[in-house]
């Protein structure tokens, strides 16, 4: 958690929203001022806004599309999103839209992000999703996102899970997959995200872990 701006990207269904929300909550636990930005202009119906009550309780500022929680399907971005690059006193966690289409939204921030040079761009990988169940598919997704967003991916996150059916077997399989992906792409493996209930067991697999609340895969409002 060393960079001020943290971009979370990945294929649809990779779980990047859950990881981004969890990352923002971890920053808040360290008493850091943090804002989470929802840049998903492709599908504004279900994203970080669904975790608003949880984020509010932890003092995390949420910035979303003005059409979130509506039935209006218009690609629009909140003007406050520019705080991501302008307000350098706050940490920024950014939930980028899925795949290359969602990454296009980064274009308007690219130059400012490069100028500050204090960001990480994470590729969230769930090896149990059809499009990223092999290394070549994951690399293809990575290249598509980089091309669209015009920012290089800087690290990989293992988010292997089967929702509430996840066991340590899936966590370990995902870790091995992402370690291989790391070697193929020469990108570091940032961490493995694991449900809170599996954290203790996962410590026997790796000590590079970030907890994700099971609530995020159930009712966001609890």
212 occurs within a structural domain: yes
Q: Can you tell me the distance from the alpha carbon of 216 to that of 32, in angstroms, rounded to the nearest whole number?
A: 22
Residue ranges making up the domain that contains 210 = 5-216
89 occurs within a structural domain: yes
221 occurs within a structural domain: no
What does each of the 222 residues of the chain score in pLDDT, given as a tens digit?
A: 689 999 999 988 898 989 999 999 999 999 999 999 988 665 544 456 668 888 999 999 999 865 444 444 444 556 788 899 999 999 999 998 776 777 888 888 999 999 999 999 999 999 999 989 999 999 999 999 999 889 999 999 999 999 889 999 999 999 999 999 999 999 999 999 999 999 999 999 999 999 998 776 654 333
What pLDDT does residue 47 have?
59
What pLDDT does residue 27 have?
95
222 occurs within a structural domain: no
13 occurs within a structural domain: yes
CB 127 within 8 A of CB 13: no
CB 171 within 8 A of CB 209: no
Tokens of 147: 């091309």
What pLDDT does residue 163 have?
87
* Count of structural domains, the chain: 1
What pLDDT does residue 77 have?
59
pTM above threshold 0.85: yes
Q: Closest by alpha carbon to 15, among 136, 140, 118, 164?
A: 164
187 occurs within a structural domain: yes
94 occurs within a structural domain: yes
State the CATH number of the domain containing residue 15: 3.40.50.300
**Residues facing residue 93 across a β-bridge:** 6, 36
144 occurs within a structural domain: yes
Which phi and psi (to 5°) does residue 195 adopt? -55, 145
């Amino acid at each position: 958690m060393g960079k001020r701006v943290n971009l979370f990207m990945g294929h649809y269904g990779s779980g990047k929203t859950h990881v981004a929300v969890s990352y923002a909550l971890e920053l808040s636990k360290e008493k850091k001022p943090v804002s989470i930005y929802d840049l998903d202009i492709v599908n504004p119906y279900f994203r970080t806004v669904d975790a608003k009550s949880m984020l509010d309780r932890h003092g995390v500022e949420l910035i979303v599309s003005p059409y979130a929680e509506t039935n209006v399907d218009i690609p629009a971005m909140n003007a406050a999103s520019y705080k991501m690059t302008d307000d350098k006193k706050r940490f920024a966690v950014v939930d980028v839209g899925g795949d290359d289409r969602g990454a296009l939204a980064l274009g308007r921030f690219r130059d400012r992000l490069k100028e500050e040079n204090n960001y990480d761009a994470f590729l969230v990988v769930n090896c149990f999703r059809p499009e990223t169940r092999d290394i070549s598919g994951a690399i293809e997704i990575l290249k598509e996102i980089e091309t669209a967003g015009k920012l290089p991916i800087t690290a990989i996150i293992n988010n292997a899970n089967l929702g509430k059916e996840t066991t340590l077997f899936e966590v370990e399989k995902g870790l091995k997959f992402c370690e291989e992906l790391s070697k193929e792409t020469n990108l570091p493996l940032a961490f493995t995200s694991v449900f809170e209930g599996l954290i203790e067991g996962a410590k026997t697999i790796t000590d590079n872990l970030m907890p994700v609340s099971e609530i995020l895969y159930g009712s966001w409002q609890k």
